[in-house]
Chains A and B, each alone.
Chain A
Amino acid sequence: GAVVSQHPSRVICKSGTSVKIECRSLDFQATTMFWYRQFPKKSLMLMATSNEGSKATYEQGVEKDKFLINHASLTLSTLTVTSAHPEDSSFYICSAPLQGYYEQYFGPGTRLTVT
């Protein structure tokens, strides 16, 4: 199957700092990528759709100035959590579909802890 990587896998940061998470499609091009967050024992919540060459589309209730998304190339999308607070601590996962296919391929996730 297709491979999606994420970096870093774990990050601990202090309140008020910003954290950047990278999502890469390793063996295919992805014009669209998705960013999710997941709380313990809960399902994935779609945060935004990252579109190569255009602005991201955010889901209702997700602050676009708080969660900056940049889809710099056909293989890279980044999520920056700005001015992080403890309530931003979560598991962030990206995914990408293969062109023309419906199923998602997920990155391994990034566990963010804000102290």
Chain B
Amino acid sequence: RKEVEQDPGPFNVPEGATVAFNCTYSNSASQSFFWYRQDCRKEPKLLMSVYSSGNEDGRFTAQLNRASQYISLLIRDSKLSDSATYLCVVNGNTNAGKSTFGDGTTLTVKP
């Protein structure tokens, strides 16, 4: 079983749609959680951190459920510019920064 598993996708949605991505992780000692966005042939960029209390940044909402070892990302009112691959990232129990990446979920937003 992979340490971090994501919806395989791809997700193809019209502009304005709401889309949700899910991610599960296997290491219960994991300490920190992130969503990164990666555009084609570019490096990943931090989208948002994920906290147990949930956090929202504009159209993006991230949730963490430690009991279920589950992370989600919700994108509301999707834009064409949201088209990218979204990576779920989990860090271990130190702040050495070693990250485990999910395989990513590709989103295409169409006009």
Which size class do B's interface residues fall under?
20 to 34
Shortest CB-to-CB span from B84 to chain A, Å, is 13
- Residue from B42, B97, B104 in contact with A97 in the complex, judged by beta carbons closer than 8 Å: B97
B31 touches A (CB below 8 Å): yes
Bound state CA distance, A1 and B48, in angstroms? 12
Q: How many A-B residue pairs have CB under 8 A?
A: 58
B34 touches A (CB below 8 Å): yes
Count of interface residues, chain A, beta-carbon cutoff 8 Å: 24
Shortest CB-to-CB span from B49 to chain A, Å, is 7
Bound state CA distance, A104 and B43, in angstroms? 11
- Residue from A97, A100, A102 in contact with B31 in the complex, judged by beta carbons closer than 8 Å: A102
Task: Report yes or no: A107 in contact with B102, Cβ–Cβ below 8 A.
Answer: no
Task: List residues 64-113 of chain A with CB under 8 A from any CB of chain B.
Answer: 91, 93, 95-97, 100-109, 111
A44 touches B (CB below 8 Å): yes
Q: With A100-B95, A102-B31 as given contacts, are A1 and B46 in contact (CB-CB < 8 Å)?
A: yes
Chain A contacts for B45, CB-based, 8 A: 106
Task: Report yes or no: B95 in contact with A97, Cβ–Cβ below 8 A.
Answer: yes
Task: List residues 16-58 of chain A with CB under 8 A from any CB of chain B.
Answer: 32, 34, 42-44, 46, 49
Task: Report yes or no: B42 in contact with A109, Cβ–Cβ below 8 A.
Answer: yes
Bound state CA distance, A111 and B40, in angstroms? 13
Task: Report yes or no: B95 in contact with A42, Cβ–Cβ below 8 A.
Answer: no
Identify the interface centre among B43, B89, B101, B104: most chain A CB within 10 Å of its CB. Answer: B43
- Residue from B42, B44, B49 in contact with A44 in the complex, judged by beta carbons closer than 8 Å: B44
B96 touches A (CB below 8 Å): yes
Task: Report yes or no: B103 in contact with A43, Cβ–Cβ below 8 A.
Answer: yes
Bound state CA distance, A26 and B46, in angstroms? 18
Bound state CA distance, A94 and B104, in angstroms? 18
Bound state CA distance, A104 and B83, in angstroms? 22
Task: List residues 23-72 of chain B with CB under 8 A from any CB of chain A.
Answer: 31-32, 34, 41-46, 49
